[in-house]
């Protein structure tokens, strides 16, 4: 049975976390990226679909491929981030049915014959998985800068030419510069955003 996290852990995941736009010159290693994925993959998705695909862009060459797809306000913070993740979704996720659906061919066939349902499932669940990635990154001591300011068609053409993988959002990862800690923006109160019935 799950137990409440201690206050320090909750603070790191939520209260003290920020969306960073400036980064320390400190690399994010392969080992950390593998650990990050090995945490986020356990988050639940509908029918265990796991449609998200993650492209960790770290090399200067890959960053230059990404640059022309970015909105002007996102260029500097992305080019200086140690890693930028393309959180995408695979419209052929159901091809992993033998592994993901415990050989349940009904689920594979359901998705294969209904492209609209497949797209909706893939987009929604890759968003969930992107959220799990942010929380896993924070749990590992990384800072995050998620964003959606980019040319989706141009990015997909550059990084996913096969056509069945589609970008959802981008997220910069690294170690945020505490000297440039962003102010916390307001959030809605419970009474403005939630209802108990």
Strands (E), the chain: 52-57, 83-90, 143-147, 165-174
Q: What is the pLDDT of residue 85?
A: 98
Lowest mean pLDDT, pick from 102-111, 146-155, 186-195: 102-111
Asked whether 174 and 142 are in contact (CB, 8 A), the reply is yes
Within 10 Å of residue 132's Cβ, how many Cβ atoms? 19
Selection from 3, 24, 29, 8 nearest residue 139 by Cα: 8
Give the residue-averaged pLDDT of 101-110.
79
53's tokens: 């695909």
Q: What is the pLDDT of residue 105?
A: 72
C-alpha 195: how far from chain center: 28
Instruction: With cut-offs at 50, 70 and 90, classify the pLDDT of residue 129.
Output: very high
Give the residue-averaged pLDDT of 94-104.
81
51's tokens: 């449609």
C-alpha 133: how far from chain center: 5
Asked whether 52 and 125 are in contact (CB, 8 A), the reply is yes
Percentage of residues of the chain with pLDDT beyond 70: 99
Q: What average pLDDT does the structure give for the chain? A: 95
Q: Is 12 exposed, middle or buried (0-12, 13-18, 19+ CB in 10 A)?
A: middle
Question: Does this model's pTM top 0.85?
Answer: yes
Give the residue-averaged pLDDT of 116-120.
97
Instruction: With cut-offs at 50, 70 and 90, classify the pLDDT of residue 181.
Output: confident
DSSP string, 138-186: HHTT-EEEEE--B-HHHHHHHH-TTSSEEEEEEEEEE-B-GGGPPPPPP
Q: What is the pLDDT of residue 99?
A: 86
Instruction: With cut-offs at 50, 70 and 90, classify the pLDDT of residue 103.
Output: low
Q: What is the pLDDT of residue 197?
A: 98
Instruction: With cut-offs at 50, 70 and 90, classify the pLDDT of residue 100.
Output: confident
- Is residue 45 predicted with pLDDT exceeding 80? yes
Tens digits of per-residue pLDDT, 156-165? 999 999 999 9
147's tokens: 């964003």
Instruction: With cut-offs at 50, 70 and 90, classify the pLDDT of residue 107.
Output: confident
Domains in the chain (CATH in brackets) are: 7-177 (3.40.109.10)
Q: What is the pLDDT of residue 159?
A: 98
């Amino acid at each position: 049975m799950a137990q409440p996290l201690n206050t320090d852990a909750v603070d790191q995941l939520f209260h003290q976390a920020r969306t960073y736009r400036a980064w320390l010159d400190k690399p994010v290693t392969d080992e950390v990226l593998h650990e990050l994925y090995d945490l986020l993959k356990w988050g639940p998705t509908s029918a265990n679909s796991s449609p998200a695909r993650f492209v960790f862009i770290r090399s200067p060459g890959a960053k230059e491929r990404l640059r022309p797809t970015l909105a002007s306000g996102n260029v500097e913070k992305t080019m200086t981030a140690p890693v930028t993740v393309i959180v995408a979704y695979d419209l052929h996720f159901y091809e992993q049915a033998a592994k993901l659906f415990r050989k349940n061919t009904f689920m594979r066939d359901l998705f294969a014959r209904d492209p609209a349902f497949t797209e909706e499932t893939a987009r929604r669940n890759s968003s969930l998985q992107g959220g799990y990635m942010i929380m896993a990154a924070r749990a590992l001591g990384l800072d995050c800068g998620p964003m959606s300011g980019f040319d989706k068609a141009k990015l997909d053409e550059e990084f996913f030419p096969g056509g069945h993988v589609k970008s959802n959002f981008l997220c910069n990862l690294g170690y945020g510069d505490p000297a440039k800690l962003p102010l916390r923006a307001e959030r809605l109160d419970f009474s403005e955003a939630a209802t108990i019935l």
